[in-house]
Amino acid sequence: MAQALRAEPRSELDGISVSIRDPTLAYGVVEVLGDLKLDVNEGEFLVLLGDSGCGKSTLLNCIAGLQPATKGQIFISGQNVTWAEPSERGIGMVFQSYALYPQMTVEGNMSFGLKNARVPRDEIAPRIARAASALQLEPLLKRKPAALSGGQRQRVAIDRTLVRDVDVSLFDEPLSNLNAKLRAELRVELKRLHQNLGNTMIYVTHDHIEAMTLADRIAIMRGGKIQQLATADDIYRRRANLYVAGFIGSPPMNLLPGRLDGNIFHGPLEADVTGYDFTGRLRAVLGIRPEHVRTGDAAAALPIRAEARVEVVEPMGADTPVWTRLGDTPFRVRLDGEDRVRAGQVLVHRLRPRQPVAVRRRHRDADLRLCHGEDDETVPATLFGPLRHALCRCDPPSWRARL
């Protein structure tokens, strides 16, 4: 063990809580995780986000040591734990199905790990009391999991990791089994907890709202690779590729296929994209966020204009997602809740392209964005044919360089 836990030079891992370098996990010949390097800072809340099968849970299990990596290295708190047992890594883990031991009381569930670690008896009680108070579990300590509601069970599961005073807490879709209301409640509670405790948390989810609200940084994963690792704000405004663009946002971004001719985009709508980095004659995808589309008189001054027929209206109170069609292309917009639209109506969309790149790179008003399709698999090959690699870019190269 001593050999496996050899400390790394301090300089390299200073301030880094968890570091993963090229973990490879092979099921037979299939490699699930590719080349991947991920450093999680101390006290950071990192969210691994992706569709099912993207490798996010596998990566989490790798960090936990439940599925030992076949190659690569994992450091936690400056120690190489690649081959260490889960219980020796200084981690706690919360599962989607709570995974409470049904035959033990809440107290028993919380103390099981401590007992296994041979913590003295008189130390266990105060630790349980302290952890229980963090999530208001004191009245439930003597109950068994079967007598708890879903939200309470998940609180116990979270507390079970707190009581062990671990450096890193891992969450595997902890809120997915709860109903919408509880999920929102527990989400806030989790964020408050993180702000109070300040320990490192790694959180796996497929829900981008959870990811955006909780994370210090989000890693969007696909096919075992990280597509983009950035703050929620950056991911929303400066997505690295088409996949990220289509993944984040609700409803997701409209991706309109078309052609770029000089500075004019031709597709389901026409747009002047002067001021972007790309010009020339090539195929391109125009990405427009539904919430950036304006309608009505107030928007009359905006330069880009398109007419669309309303198909389906989904009133949600505060705002109203509307499914429209630009010619044959589906196009979603999100209107204010006060706007009245009916199915069949023709709606005039108006948009404003962002400010020219030359003025400011960190723009605030990115209504219109061209995305590149380079190294991007989501775009069906039939759409682009052989020209897939000659597409225009979404962002200046500098953004990708930061990844």
Partner 1 sequence: MARSGPPLRRFLNWQAKFAATPMILTALVVFIGCSLWTVVHSFTNSRLPPRLDFVGLAQYERLWSTPRWLVSIENLAMYGVCALTLVIGFLLAVLLDQKIRFEDGFRTIILFPYALSFIVTGVVCQWILNPDFGLQHIVRSAGFSGFSFDPLNDPSLVILALLAAGIWQGAGLTKVIVLAGLRGIDEDVWKARRVDGIPAWKTYLFIVLQMMKPVFATCIVLISARIIKLYDLVVALTRRGPGIASEVPAKYVYDYMFGNQNLGQGFAASTMMLAAVLAIIIPFALFRLGRKRHVGRRLLRCRSGRTPQHRSARPLLDGPASLAPARRLSGKRIMIYGGLLVFSAYYLLPLWVMVMTSLKGMPEIRIGNIFAPAVEITFEPWVKAWSSACTGLNCGGLSRGFWNSVAIVVPATILSIAVAAVNGYALVNWRFKGSEVFFTILIFGAFIPYQVMICPIVIILREIRLMGSVWGLVLVHVVFGMPIITLLFRNCFSSLPPELFKAARVDGGGFWGIFLRVLVPMSLPILTVAVILQVTGIWNDFLFGVIYTRPESHPMTVQLNNIVNSVQGVREYNVNMAATLLTGLVPLTIYFLSGKLFVRGIAAGAVKG
Binding site for partner 1 (CB under 8 A): 1, 3-4, 6, 61, 64, 66, 68, 71, 73, 80, 82-88, 91-93, 95-103, 112-113, 116-117, 160, 164, 172
Instruction: For strands 281-288 and 71-76, give the pairing.
Output: unpaired
Please report how close the Cβ of residue 358 comes to partner 1 at its closest, in angstroms: 47
Given the complex with partner 1, which of 86 and 321 has the nearer CB atom? 86
Given the complex with partner 1, which of 1 and 401 has the nearer CB atom? 1
Please report how close the Cβ of residue 157 comes to partner 1 at its closest, in angstroms: 8
Q: Per DSSP, which regions of 314-359 are E strands?
A: 319-326, 329-336, 346-351
Which among 226, 255, 259, 257 has a CA at the least distance from the CA of 242? 255
Please report how close the Cβ of residue 120 comes to partner 1 at its closest, in angstroms: 15
Given the complex with partner 1, which of 58 and 320 has the nearer CB atom? 58
Given the complex with partner 1, which of 29 and 316 has the nearer CB atom? 29
Which among 111, 134, 135, 132 has a CA at the least distance from the CA of 123? 111
Given the complex with partner 1, which of 174 and 353 has the nearer CB atom? 174
- Quick one: 42 exposed, middle or buried, by C-beta within 10 A (0-12, 13-18, 19+)? middle
Instruction: Give the list of residues 6+ apart from residue 275 with CB closer than 8 angstroms, or none.
Output: 353, 354, 355, 356, 357, 358
Helix/strand/coil for 134: helix
Give the integer Cα–Cα distance in Å for 225 and 222: 5
Q: What is the DSSP track for 57-117?
A: HHHHHHHHTSS--SEEEEEETTEE-TTS-GGGTTEEEE-TT----TTS-HHHHHHHHHHHT
Please report how close the Cβ of residue 18 comes to partner 1 at its closest, in angstroms: 15
Given the complex with partner 1, which of 159 and 367 has the nearer CB atom? 159
Please report how close the Cβ of residue 95 comes to partner 1 at its closest, in angstroms: 4
User: What is residue 294's DSSP assignment?
Assistant: B
Please report how close the Cβ of residue 202 comes to partner 1 at its closest, in angstroms: 13
Please report how close the Cβ of residue 27 comes to partner 1 at its closest, in angstroms: 13
Give the integer Cα–Cα distance in Å for 235 and 244: 8
**344: amino acid identity, one letter:** G
Which among 43, 5, 369, 24 has a CA at the least distance from the CA of 197? 43
Given the complex with partner 1, which of 6 and 281 has the nearer CB atom? 6
Please report how close the Cβ of residue 175 comes to partner 1 at its closest, in angstroms: 15
Residue 255 is encoded by which pair of tokens? 């991706």
Given the complex with partner 1, which of 6 and 364 has the nearer CB atom? 6
